Chains A and B, each alone.
Chain A
């Protein structure tokens, strides 16, 4: 009887005050393990994924290299059109805005990023990038998800946000997962339906059946996260102009979450359509324009919010493309690729390393010189203050002088 009436009491008071819907971390800093922004080193990471395998050689163009022009008779970008950087490399002409960021010392270009025994399947290679596994290793958690696991504590529930309807493997941990939100309002409505909210509250204190409890716990956390985001973002709306399109809209959502004081450490968004086997030039140019214009507005927005210095943006793709063009004015799946880091406080802006070596190819493909897992390790350790060795399995090295 005592148990019953206690349960009744909790239920009643919960319904009356909505107390149980307040995210745990707001109850104070005594919960143990609350490395959110306010109480941590204040750094956050934004990951931008270019899906489909972006052609790196036409993104950062080796415009002084004859081998490049030989391999791509109709697809190479003429040297006079390239937006020159340094050391014989220049950006695709569609990336004027990124070049503006570069000139301000906000961009670091890492060349020849990859991993041993590269896989040419989109899915598998993305799987490798997300899980940070070796190419003959299969992990069911992602590198950022394991970072969340390492944070532990209730705050880990919304420490990572992907602006999308479904969650990427990268943000799935063993204990904690990020949340996927395309639109905060819609997410709130979908998860905080009155019936489900009441049903969840009935289970808030139950410990009868471990799987039922687990599902209700996940539901309650989702409802709380949605409520928290809804509450936080009610006020602020970005006044910055962003380009049209879903990608820029997603970046704007991230900027609004950041400016609203949402304490997430990691944000994730994708731009898709880079699988340019056929008639690449126009398609890639419009995507790269969308990328660099979106990023420019985003950076501008963050700067105005005084949040840019706390932010690093990483832009990557699952693989680069073959050095030689194919017969359809496109390129096929390749291996190593370039990767961008963008931030207000980079230690070394500009070109981090030499451009790719076009003389020493592996059966027509670029060889990697930087293992992407070392970039992850550096971001985790130097930027997010995470346990890189624990998260990545201890086989990585930190890149010096980057961030």
Chain B
């Protein structure tokens, strides 16, 4: 196989399974089989994300009385989410365990909770991280007992006398079977089975036996004195759950355009392996079609893929912790703040006239250390704005420092006339039209030094819509 074709395949694999390939001087180009094995191996162990967070849980006794204290706690929560966000983004950009980061991001959008307490958000994140590449039934049980999940979907209020159906409904509709594969009665019965699933202030799961409904339930045609575990068990025994998850994984890793035949095939395999996530991913990444023209370069990068990718390939250092959150919010995907329990819609939903115009400016601006300004809409849930200050609060400025030396080194030997072709192959996942290449050349002043030319060409390539695809 020609080296450049192999490199293109590797780039594709690394953009989908991770956040791109960093530009390093002595890069090996293994075959796909070996690269997939290395990816899985590097993500084999789960290391928890470690962030030192202040205790920000409300104290009902003092908080009701003391507004200052409540505001102070609110600021600490906000700061907590900045720390969490930065820490995870940094992991995505630098960790060798690329597949685990990517898969944790998938589950974050799947079991999408918008939590108030940073400590609960970190706990939940580490639960997702720990099980991201395990077997789905284990992940499902762990996340069903996660305090953040129980809180977000009101299972804390789900009691024998007064069942709350919120968790049961989303469990069936959004997490496992999907709409149309259960009845309203199934939801009611499942909710009864989860009564008493609760947590304590330390963030530990607690089964409150006195609030649990021990009576007989009928769930999806079966009768018994079911508890929550039984319901989860029956859900994963239903192959429809494998279909639902596989379709969603296909959309995330492969293409927005579903391919029923491939999905069916993958889903059967997923089910047969007892929902073994790494095995399913290996099958996808090693499929011939994964490197076909209907897949390569056809995904619109999510805002996180775009930003983590820039950080990974150009060693971005933001001027402050808020900056990456500003960009994420302006582009419509803020880590730890999914829009609702159904997660980010993704695909073309990322794009409207303002987000596209902003996306095209981000790469070049950050690489040149230029200020990016944007007026953000308020997020009153995490950062209530004092009305007097609101005008300054909306406007944010983002700055970062970048390092292009890795790319420069890789281009050192390249001949002048090959530069644009070589760079576009490194930076874009779709072929650059010759007309566009010619246009870019026209915009490069003649007689600039080799290194400057690399930089100028890179800035132009990053400002193209093509860079938004992977």
Contacts and interface: CB of A to CB of B under 8 A. Distances in A.
Contact of A275 (B376, B384, B443): B384
Contacts of B64: 326-327
Interface string A199-226: 1001100101111101110110110010
Contact of B465 (A138, A169, A216): A216
B354 A215 contact: no
Interface in A231-281: 245-246, 270, 272-279
Interface in B339-395: 339-342, 345, 348-349, 351-357, 360-361, 374-381, 384-388, 390-391, 394
Interface string B113-155: 0100000000000000000000000000000000000000000
B284 interface: no
A283 B388 contact: yes
Given A166-B355, A195-B460, A212-B430, A286 B375 contact: no
A177 interface: yes
Contact of B464 (A164, A199, A210): A199
Interface string A41-75: 00000000001110000000000000000000000
B433 A122 contact: no
B114 A121 contact: yes
Which of A53, A199, A246, A328 is most buried by chain B, counting CB atoms within 10 A of its CB? Answer: A199
Given A222-B353, A328-B67, A277 B469 contact: no
A246 B391 contact: yes
Contacts of B468: 215
A123 B463 contact: no
B465 A177 contact: no
Contact of B339 (A11, A127, A215, A274): A127
Interface residues of B, number: 60
A360 interface: no
Contacts of A166: 330, 354-355, 374-377
A199 B376 contact: no
A304 interface: no
A276 B388 CA distance: 12
Contact of B342 (A138, A169, A191, A209): A138
Nearest to A49: B377
Contact of B169 (A11, A136, A216, A276): A136
B433 A202 contact: yes
Interface in A295-349: 326-328, 330
Contacts of B299: 211
A24 interface: no
A278 B71 contact: yes
Given A52-B378, A165-B375, A277 B357 contact: no
A324 to B, nearest CB: 12
A240 B220 CA distance: 66
A283 B330 CA distance: 27
Nearest to A162: B354
Contacts of A199: 436, 439, 464
A interface SS class: mixed
A179 interface: yes
B298 A167 contact: no
Contact of A273 (B353, B387, B460): B387
Contacts of B386: 273, 283
Contacts of A327: 64-65, 67
Contacts of A202: 433, 435-436, 439
Given A221-B353, A278-B71, A327-B65, A124 B169 contact: no
Given A202-B439, A275-B385, A278-B67, A52 B380 contact: yes
A273 B468 CA distance: 34
A328 B464 CA distance: 52
Most chain B beta-carbon contacts within 10 A, residue among A166, A222, A245, A279: A166
Contacts of B65: 327
Number of chain A interface residues as a range: 35 or more
A13 to B, nearest CB: 15
B356 A219 contact: yes
Contacts of B360: 196, 219
B354 A273 contact: no
Nearest to B388: A283
Contacts of A138: 174, 340-342
Contacts of A123: 114, 337, 339-340, 379-381
A380 interface: no
A140 interface: yes
A36 interface: no
A206 B374 CA distance: 32
Contact of A51 (B380, B466, B469): B380
B312 to A, nearest CB: 22
Contacts of B390: 272-273
Interface in A171-211: 172, 177-180, 182, 190-191, 195-196, 198-199, 202-203, 206, 208-211
A141 to B, nearest CB: 8
A109 interface: no
A330 B387 CA distance: 13
A259 B388 CA distance: 32
B300 A211 contact: yes
A218 B353 contact: yes
A98 interface: no
Given A218-B356, A272-B390, A165 B374 contact: yes
Interface in A1-50: 11
B196 interface: no
B387 A180 contact: no
A287 interface: yes
A239 to B, nearest CB: 25
B18 interface: no
A168 interface: yes
Given A214-B348, A277-B67, A272 B385 contact: yes
A206 B433 contact: yes
B357 A273 contact: no
A121 B443 CA distance: 49
Nearest to A121: B381
B357 A212 contact: no
Interface string A103-142: 0000000000000000001111001000000001010100
B361 A190 contact: yes
Contacts of B341: 138
Given A121-B381, A167-B354, A219-B465, 7 more contacts: A136-B166, A165-B375, A169-B339, A215-B351, A275-B380, A278-B70, A283-B386
Interface of B: 64-65, 67, 70-71, 114, 166, 169, 174, 297-300, 330, 337, 339-342, 345, 348-349, 351-357, 360-361, 374-381, 384-388, 390-391, 394, 430, 433, 435-436, 439, 443, 460, 463-466, 468-469
Interface of A: 11, 51-53, 121-124, 127, 136, 138, 140, 164-169, 172, 177-180, 182, 190-191, 195-196, 198-199, 202-203, 206, 208-212, 214-216, 218-219, 221-222, 225, 245-246, 270, 272-279, 283, 286-287, 326-328, 330
28 contacts: A52-B380, A123-B114, A123-B340, A123-B381, A138-B174, A166-B330, A166-B354, A166-B377, A179-B352, A179-B354, A180-B352, A180-B353, A190-B361, A195-B460, A202-B436, A203-B433, A211-B297, A212-B465, A214-B351, A215-B465, A215-B466, A216-B465, A222-B356, A222-B357, A283-B388, A286-B387, A328-B67, A330-B67
In the A-B complex, the 10 residue pairs with the closest CB atoms: A273-B387, A140-B345, A215-B465, A138-B342, A328-B67, A222-B353, A165-B375, A122-B380, A177-B352, A180-B354
